[in-house]
A and B are shown apart, each in its own frame.
Chain A
């Protein structure tokens, strides 16, 4: 695995909201077909970090990103068509958002926008994505009802299905299990393991054990700094460079 291609190369990235730093001097690389876990307590700057990767900073007032981010070796700061860039990087934020469209359209929207018009083709994409997000069985009989009126847990799975529908190269999940019950969480975790062969996954989680179950490598963020990065297994075996990492993993603070 160590020879896999570098998918995202993050060099000395800092993020500021006005004068306040959210992230300072983070350098790391994320390889193709790995699940990269990011753990850390609240306010560690994890969400800001994800926003910088798909250039959502331009929609957040005050947010300024410094440093370089390379996606497939390409400097994303230079992208003139950031929409094309963003469609390659899917993201799921903690609060589920079912768009006020039909369930079908929620999932079919991204493919439609990218130019797919064939109904049969869309049908296949919708079914596959919903099935992968462990939602198909529950909604297959009411694909025409509003996605925004589903329950919280269902909306979160719909959000995941939507993120998959754009066939991203990188899928970023930000504490996806907050709005989902434990059983569904386990089902989605299984799906993520499968998806690894198709895409690169960044998993931001507040559940240390979730990172342990899924991530190949894990980074520990604390107060805007990346404290350390290591193979997950080794890390959870206690082979850490910093005492605070171990303390966090063992639940001594957080």
Chain B
């Protein structure tokens, strides 16, 4: 702090020091990593399209692809590439899963968010978080080894690997994630709303049904959409619990096969570049686009609640 260092040539503020260059370099590096997510998501689309392109150009009949229920891509003489039954399989399992998951997820979210406080709330949240962590292959194994015999016994049906089994499994898988997001949405409703309603003499459940739920509507819808997306994209659990037979289900006791599971089961047996290989990648493109759309919608819906 001695006087004398105050005489500093003004070009000091023009001279770029090592620290200045390091700073600029790091900024560039962080930026590149920052946009890596964009690069990756585009790469995913590009690479699966490259692998599926040959099939899309030469063999794909879009009409047949979406409307035919015959799936026999490995047939050497007359391969059939209809994914209608697979879509039906995915849709039925996801649909049942939502029927199971939505009430439980919302109910649990309301219980945690509105009726629990302090330690109880914390431990319930931790428990939900742990449920969400159970790997899908373990869920599949549970469907296979625990749910399967249980369903056969309880409902007296010949096969326990079916829509019911996979739907329940998938519902249990999706519920924790939906609970977390729904609970966030409830928490985002300002306490002043609740206080205002309670000041007017409304009871707790009136406050929840008339004030909190409508206010959190968008966030809850977002939670449901993300649950649907998750169910749609789930692979191992549906591969192991659906029974894996190409079939348009007529009851919840029918075995089905999902889009994702088809890829998982058949990719290993195909030759790279063959039409069968190509059609699996084409299903991949379809799955990518559908989940992209679901996630985009969910994001827009949830963002809507933040703005409003």
Contact = CB atoms under 8 A, between A and B. Distances in A.
A–B contact with Cβ pairs below 8 Å: the answer is yes
B17 A84 contact: yes
Contact of B8 (A32, A72, A82, A164): A72
B20 A83 contact: yes
14 contacts: A72-B10, A73-B10, A74-B13, A76-B13, A79-B13, A81-B14, A81-B15, A83-B17, A84-B13, A84-B17, A85-B13, A88-B8, A113-B19, A169-B6
A6 B277 CA distance: 78
Instruction: Identify the interface centre among B6, B16, B17, B20: most chain A CB within 10 Å of its CB.
Output: B6
Contacts of B271: none
A80 B13 CA distance: 6
A69 B128 CA distance: 58
Central interface residue in B2, B5, B12, B15, by most chain A CB within 10 Å? B12
Nearest to A7: B6
Contacts of A76: 13
A76 B97 CA distance: 63
A148 to B, nearest CB: 25
A113 B18 CA distance: 11
The 4 closest A-B pairs by CB, nearest first: A79-B13, A74-B10, A85-B13, A167-B1
Contacts, number: 44
Interface of B: 1-3, 5-6, 8, 10, 12-17, 19-20, 23
Contacts of A81: 12-17, 20
B19 to A, nearest CB: 7
Contacts of B19: 83, 113
Nearest to A32: B6
A82 B6 contact: no
Contacts of B20: 81, 83
Nearest to A195: B1
Interface in A163-182: 164, 167, 169
A231 to B, nearest CB: 24
A199 to B, nearest CB: 8
Q: Of A84, A169, A198, which is in contact with the most chain B CB atoms at under 10 Å from its CB?
A: A84
A122 B241 CA distance: 67
Interface of A: 32, 72-74, 76, 78-85, 88, 113, 128, 164, 167, 169, 197-199
B15 A84 contact: yes
B18 to A, nearest CB: 9
Nearest to A167: B1
Nearest to B20: A81
Given A72-B8, A88-B8, A169-B6, A80 B1 contact: no
A128 B3 CA distance: 15
A83 to B, nearest CB: 7
Contacts of B1: 128, 164, 167, 198
A78 B14 CA distance: 8
Interface centre among A76, A82, A83 (most CB of B within 10 A): A83
A79 to B, nearest CB: 4
B131 to A, nearest CB: 35
Contacts of A73: 10
A72 B12 CA distance: 12
Contacts of B5: 167
Contacts of B2: 198
Contacts of A164: 1
Contact of B13 (A82, A128, A167, A197): A82
Nearest to A72: B10
A81 B19 CA distance: 10
Contacts of A83: 17, 19-20, 23
Given A81-B14, A83-B17, A197-B3, 8 more contacts: A73-B10, A74-B10, A81-B16, A81-B17, A81-B20, A84-B17, A169-B8, A198-B1
Contacts of B23: 83
A78 B296 CA distance: 44
Contacts of A79: 13-14
